[in-house]
């Protein structure tokens, strides 16, 4: 019987110690199941091993039935951005630190991956954002983001002033260190550290979170995920915009950053029994009891 995942691609954060050994073990595990294995070209070149097929991201998009990210959340986010248009499901094995979206622990990859390959998984679709910088009628930058789009000042400058429109309706002018527009996936990233709310991944929404605003009345706000957001840089030195930390530093006064939901989503596969709340408990230490003072 032909397996449902006949061709599986691997992408690893090859700078991390120990990734080579784990990657080779996964290749052998998949090969033993009769599954064709593709290893992303840069990963293959970095680990310096032979015996498997190298493939570009485009080739993976055309041929693979499943892609595995071996690394941290950054590896998973990068793979999701690259493959979202191909609608290939993704699995994340955590070889990094935090692991919000690379939810399979390194010590349990074999059992979890085997379960997924046998059909024992839950699927979860995650929204992405498109960000475009318009300078007059010219597009000078565009990027796809899975976590967030952040407009901010440089570390050497003061506050920036931003004018925000939502669905072509004026919202406000804001002076702050920056403004974050985050997906539910990104609500547990930078937006959370700026006191934004956590959005459940199944929630069709976005969150807009100011970073250290001058006016304390500027609060985080949740928006529908089909909202079209326009942010104009009104004032400030050395403004910049980033999508998932990929920075465009040539932002200028008068530029417009146009943010909207991407036309496709990333699909994550989790082993059966996966719980988003269990992830939050573990990663945010919700399971720990408070330390009580004797005073």
Considering the domain boundaries, does residue 20 fall inside one? Answer: yes
Do residues 205 and 277 share a domain?
A: no
CA distances from 194 to 28, 181, 200, 221, 249 (A): 43, 12, 17, 12, 22
- Domain containing 80 — which CATH number? 3.40.50.10330
Establish if 101 belongs to a structural domain: yes
Instruction: Count CB-CB contacts under 10 A for residue 36.
Output: 17
The answer on 194 and 154 residing in a single domain is yes
Q: Domain residues for 167? A: 129-261
Q: How far is CA 220 from the centre of its chain?
A: 20
Q: Is 295 contained in some domain?
A: no
Specify the DSSP class assigned to residue 21. Answer: H
Q: Is residue 242 part of a domain?
A: yes
Q: What are the φ and ψ backbone dihedral angles of 223, each rounded to 5 degrees?
A: -125, 155
Does 213 share its domain with 236?
A: yes
Q: Judge if 71 and 106 occupy the same domain.
A: yes
User: Is residue 110 located within the same domain as residue 162?
Assistant: no
Residues 93 and 32 in one domain: yes
Q: Are residues 167 and 212 in the same domain?
A: yes
The C-alpha R_g of the chain, in whole angstroms, comes to 21
Whether 139 and 18 map to the same domain: the answer is no
Q: Where are the alpha helices (DSSP H) in 91-160?
A: 109-117
Instruction: Verify that 80 and 196 share a domain, yes or no.
Output: no
Same-domain pairing of 144 and 178: yes
DSSP per position, 85-107: GGT--EEEEE-SS--SS--EEGG
> Does the residue 107 lie in any domain?
yes
* C-alpha dist (Å) from residue 177 to 135, 171, 214, 259: 22, 18, 8, 19
Strands lying side by side in the sheet with 246-248:
221-224, 205-211, 178-182, 148-152, 240-243, 246-248
Are residues 115 and 151 part of one domain?
no
Is residue 244 within 8 A of residue 81, CB to CB? The reply is yes
pTM for the full predicted model: 0.91
Residue 215 lies inside a defined structural domain of this protein: yes
Domain contains 23? yes
Specify the CATH number for the domain of residue 243. 2.60.200.30
Catalytic positions, please? 73
User: What is the full per-residue pLDDT of the chain (295 aa) written as tens digits?
Assistant: 345 899 999 998 766 677 888 999 999 999 999 999 999 998 888 877 667 799 999 999 999 999 999 988 899 999 999 999 999 999 999 986 667 888 898 899 999 999 999 999 999 999 999 999 999 999 999 999 999 999 999 877 789 999 999 999 999 999 999 999 999 999 999 999 999 999 999 999 999 999 999 988 889 999 999 999 999 999 998 999 999 999 999 999 999 999 999 999 999 999 988 888 888 888 888 866 555 555 5
Domain total for the chain? 2
- 293 occurs within a structural domain: no
> Residue 75 has which token pair?
């590896």
Question: Comparing C-alpha atoms, which of 124, 77, 122 is closest to residue 98?
Answer: 77
């Amino acid at each position: 019987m032909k397996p449902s995942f006949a061709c599986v691609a691997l992408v690893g954060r090859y700078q991390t110690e120990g990734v080579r050994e784990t990657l080779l073990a996964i290749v052998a595990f998949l090969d033993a199941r009769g599954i064709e294995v593709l290893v992303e070209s840069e990963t293959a070149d970095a680990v310096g091993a032979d015996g498997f097929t190298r493939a570009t991201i485009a080739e993976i998009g055309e041929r693979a039935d499943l892609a595995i990210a071996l690394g941290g959340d950054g590896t998973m986010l990068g793979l999701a951005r690259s493959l979202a248009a191909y609608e290939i499901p993704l699995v994340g094995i955590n070889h990094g630190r935090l692991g919000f979206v690379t939810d399979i622990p390194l010590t349990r990859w074999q059992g979890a991956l085997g379960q997924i390959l046998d059909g024992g998984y839950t699927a979860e679709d995650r929204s992405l954002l498109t960000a475009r910088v318009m300078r007059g009628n010219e597009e000078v930058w565009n990027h796809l983001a899975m976590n967030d789009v952040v407009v901010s000042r440089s570390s050497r400058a003061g506050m920036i002033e931003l004018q925000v429109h939502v669905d072509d309706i004026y919202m406000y002018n804001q002076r702050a260190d920056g403004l974050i527009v985050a997906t539910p996936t990104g609500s547990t990233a930078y937006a959370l550290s700026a006191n934004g709310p956590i959005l459940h991944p199944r929630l069709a929404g976005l969150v807009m979170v100011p970073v250290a605003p001058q006016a304390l009345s500027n609060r985080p706000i949740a928006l529908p995920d089909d909202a079209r957001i326009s942010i104009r840089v009104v004032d400030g030195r050395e403004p910049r915009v980033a999508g998932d930390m990929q920075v465009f530093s040539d932002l200028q006064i008068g530029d417009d950053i146009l943010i909207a939901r991407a036309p496709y989503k990333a699909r994550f596969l989790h082993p059966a029994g996966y719980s988003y709340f269990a992830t939050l408990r573990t990663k945010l230490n919700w399971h720990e009891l408070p330390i009580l003072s004797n005073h």
